[in-house]
DNA sequence: GCGACAG
DNA sequence: ATCTTGTCGC
């Protein structure tokens, strides 16, 4: 499946951005997935919608997509492709993965759509701490190949990990994620999706 | 054998 | 991811 990842420049200018996140309720084995939508590059929040499901796979590092994708896919199946955000930002890695096929790649290949990975923590690969200023980044290398970047989205905060999911270049992924993170460590897309899943899970 | 390990 | 008090810093 990793061979099906297409690492190319975006085909059209980005006008909308999407963000994904999932929240769980261990007690009921229920989970909620959310897709947030933003105008780009204005980063004005347009809307967020959620989908409920049942946990059916445990969390295993390296097999993350098998846990979250079943809950995420319905968010796209319910919509016309023309309404999908131009670029989707996942809350997990893309090519930064032992088999170079993380959640963002898996979703990107299944949808055949531009997707970028954006994780809060390191999974694999060697990297150096980037310079302090916002926008600084350093490559994440594995087997001599650059598979992603450690990106500083705000001065002095810990870097986040950006990597190609599908149909974008690493440089484009870094630019989009940085512009989507004007005020906080995480992209507005991820923050909005996170707020949506928590709110939905709260009223259960 | 030992350490690392997205959410 | 989720739980959960106090604490440090702007």
Q: Is the pLDDT of residue A36 over 90?
A: yes
Residue A134 lies in a domain: yes
- What pLDDT, on the 0 to 100 scale, is given for residue A82? 96
Residue A5 lies in a domain: no
Check which CATH number belongs to the domain holding A67 and give it: 3.30.2170.10
Q: Report the alpha-carbon distance of residue A116 to residue A100 in Å, rounded.
A: 13
Q: What average pLDDT score do residues A170-180 get?
A: 98
Taking the CA of residue A77 and the C1' sugar atom of nucleotide C5, their distance in angstroms comes to: 43
How far is the CA of A40 from the CAs of A31, A79, A85, A87, A178, in angstroms?
29, 20, 10, 10, 12
Measured from Cα to the C1' atom, the residue closest to C3 is A26
Total domains, chain A? 1
Write phi, then psi, for A48 (nearest 5 degrees). -145, 140
Nearest CA among A160, A37, A139 for reference residue A92: A160
Taking the CA of residue A65 and the C1' sugar atom of nucleotide C1, their distance in angstroms comes to: 14
Q: What percent of chain A has pLDDT over 70?
A: 100
């Amino acid at each position: 499946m990793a061979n099906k990842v297409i690492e190319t420049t975006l085909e059209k200018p980005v006008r909308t951005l999407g963000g994904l996140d999932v929240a769980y309720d261990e007690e009921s084995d229920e989970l909620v997935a959310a897709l947030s939508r933003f105008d780009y590059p204005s980063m004005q929040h347009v809307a967020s919608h959620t989908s409920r499901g049942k946990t059916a796979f445990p969390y295993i590092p390296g097999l993350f997509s098998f846990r979250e994708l079943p809950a995420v896919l319905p968010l796209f199946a319910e919509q016309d492709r023309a309404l999908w955000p131009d670029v989707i930002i996942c809350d997990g890695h893309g090519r930064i993965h032992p088999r170079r096929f993380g959640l963002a790649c898996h979703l990107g290949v299944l949808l055949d759509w531009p997707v970028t990975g954006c994780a809060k923590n390191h999974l694999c690969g060697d990297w150096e701490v980037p310079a302090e200023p916002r926008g600084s980044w350093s490559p994440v290398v594995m087997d001599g190949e650059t598979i992603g970047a450690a990106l500083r989205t705000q001065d002095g905060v810990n870097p986040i990990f950006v990597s190609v999911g599908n149909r974008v270049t690493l440089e484009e992924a870094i630019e989009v994620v940085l512009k989507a993170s004007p005020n906080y460590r995480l992209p507005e897309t991820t923050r909005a999706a996170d707020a949506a899943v928590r709110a939905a899970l709260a009223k259960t």
